[in-house]
Amino acid sequence: MATDLYGLSRVTGEQGVLPQRARVVDPSLPLRAGELLIDVESLNIDAASFKQLKEAAGGDSAKIVEAVRAIVAERGKMQNPVTGSGGMLIGRVREVSAEHPGFGTLKAGDRIATLVSLTLTPLVIESVRGIKPEIDRIDITGHAILFPSGIYAKLPDDLPDTLSLAALDVAGAPALVARWVKPGQTVVMLGAGKSGALCLAQAREAMAGNGTLIALDISKPALDALQGIGLCDAVVACDATKGVDVMREVSRLTNGGMADLVVNCASVGNTEMASILSVKNGGTVIFFSMATSFTAAALGAEGVGKDVTMLVGNGYVPGHAELTLGLLRRNPKLRGLFEQRYT
């Protein structure tokens, strides 16, 4: 059997469609050429998806679990039909196909985290062992299949699993920030969650003591926590769906200069204009939020006559896993914040 690099053979009823875009994928066994089989321990649902599931369930954990099980049973993968997003997982290697790139380096029992989205990962949930709503996590028994193109990371021995999972879930964000932040810039971060904190930490390192970091979030305690460990120079508690209000606050803090770079890590929709209005002409906006609307961003920038480079963070940058874990290793205060929030 030929190796199926992207998992096209797992797509059900839609010829030539990739697994991420497919409505249904086939998670059945046995394993096929080039694939990796994982005994799943935990699903880390992405922030935008979990927020939507939680709101739809009225905060009822049992209903959240029921909704996730229903999605996976219907689609063969965890892809929220409302947000279109998924998350990631951790588990133990059960079997490695001889054609898989990890054959010879991975062995049965190795604990790994997938670094590709659950939206394209064939998944079966056999049972649910528990849910941790405060960290968007569901502990399960089941299996998942990783294609040859699917990236993963071995879980490190020096960090707790929950800490590694929380960081690796958003590893692409700080890695891309490392490419774009330069000394002397003014950087605005929308969102004070996992990705926001890691991006601020990376930006702080990249600035080398020369630059300004501004964090915005609707939660004042979350902002105070970031400022308290030195990750930002100023904070604004505001509703990022109110773009003009955000623009005015950024203008006030920058004396009208606005930001060189805005990084959007918000977990809610309708924050595109807050990002676009807060950046100076010729500046850059990076959208990491899974709730971002391309239409709203493109037409919004056009509508206000803003010359801005807009990037979509795709979650993968070469070396992103090690870069992100390195931030936690080098910054005890950041690690302490993650341990407090996500373990």
Rg for the chain (alpha carbons), in Å?
20
In order, the DSSP letters of 1-35 are ----TT-GGGB-S-TT--TTT-S-B--PSSP-TT-
Q: What is the rounded average pLDDT for all residues in the chain?
A: 95
Contact (CB, 8 A) for 308 and 299: no
pLDDT tens per residue, range 25-76: 999 999 999 999 999 999 999 888 999 999 999 999 999 999 999 999 999 9
Q: What is the pLDDT of residue 315?
A: 81
Burial of 208 (0-12, 13-18, 19+ CB in 10 A): exposed
Q: What is the pLDDT of residue 343?
A: 74
Confidence of residue 216 (pLDDT cuts 50, 70, 90): very high
Q: What is the pLDDT of residue 290?
A: 78
Confidence of residue 1 (pLDDT cuts 50, 70, 90): low
All structural domains of the chain with their residue ranges: 8-155, 172-342
Most confident of 98-102, 133-137, 277-281: 277-281
Confidence of residue 166 (pLDDT cuts 50, 70, 90): confident
172-342: CATH number: 3.40.50.720
For the cut 90, the answer to whether the pLDDT of residue 279 exceeds it is: yes
For the chain, percent of residues with pLDDT exceeding 70: 100
* Lowest mean pLDDT segment, chosen from 167-171, 172-176, 250-254, 296-300: 167-171
Q: What is the pLDDT of residue 10?
A: 97
Q: Give the predicted TM-score (pTM) of the model.
A: 0.83
Say which residues have a Cβ less than 8 Å from residue 77's Cβ, sequence separation at least 6.
Answer: 19, 25, 27, 86, 118, 119, 120, 121, 122, 123
